[in-house]
Structure 1
Amino acid sequence: MTVLYGIKNCDTIKKAKAWLDNAKIDYTFHDYRVEGIDADMVAEFFAQLDWQNVVNKRGTTFRALSDDTKASLSAETALPLLVEQPAMIKRPILVHQGQYHLGFKPDQYAKIFASA
């Protein structure tokens, strides 16, 4: 089973979904704002992808954090922040055949699904 995690109005998610649709890849889309997200899911993302890679430091939600919060960010402090503010999770996260992949580039997805 292939699952794409993200937020539906994100431009990168739209590109990833279009790529998957055009390649006729069967997948499920998990929208954090509709289906939600919990600490266990974020912890799994951290375990598979490293918490520093999962936190989107380029987004407006992260930039709005206080300097103290940013400076003291760790896996322990980031986890509840991401549950509360899922827009701070880098997008998309793709899970295919038990493997976790972060971000979207057409070449990256072509390699992931080359053996499919």
Structure 2
Amino acid sequence: MTILYGIPNCDTVKKARAWLGEHGVAFDFHDFKKQGVPPEQLARWTQAAGWEKVLNRQGTTWRKLDPAVQAGVHDSASAQALMLANPSVIKRPVVDWGTDITVGFDAQGWATRV
């Protein structure tokens, strides 16, 4: 079963949910805000995609962080700790396709899966 992780009011997550629906992909939605970030899944994502890709340094949440907090993120462990404390800093959506993980919405890349 495909699982889409994200925040429901995120525009990119909305696009991803619509795309999956339009292409007949059955999926469960995991809401970071209501259900939290599963630590074991976050570890899997950072291992599969790299913590640098999972951590969204372009977003508003990152930019609003104290510079000392930003500077404290220097490896997978520190990035994961920050992402668990601030789920909004995770690049969205994260999709668990059952066989692998993708981070971010990529309609062309996803089209090769369905």
| TM-score using structure 1 length | 0.90
Matched residue count: 113
> Partner residue of 1:84?
85
Alignment of 1:1-116 (within 5 A): 1-73=1-73, 74-113=75-114
Amino acid at match of 1:13: V
Contact conserved, 1:13 with 1:92, CA < 8 A, in 2?
A: yes
Give structure 2 stretches of 5+ with no counterpart: none
Moved over 3 A (4+): none
C-alpha separation in 2, matches of 1:43 and 1:4: 16
For 1:107 and 1:24, locate their aligned partners in 2 and report how far apart those are by CA, in whole Å.
16
Deviation at 1:99, TM superposition (A): 0.7
Distance across 2 between alignment mates of 1:71 and 1:80: 13
Which 5+ residue runs of structure 1 have no aligned equivalent? Answer: none
Counterpart of 2:106, as a letter, is K
After superposition, the CA RMSD in angstroms is: 1.2
Distance 2:98 2:85 in 1: 28
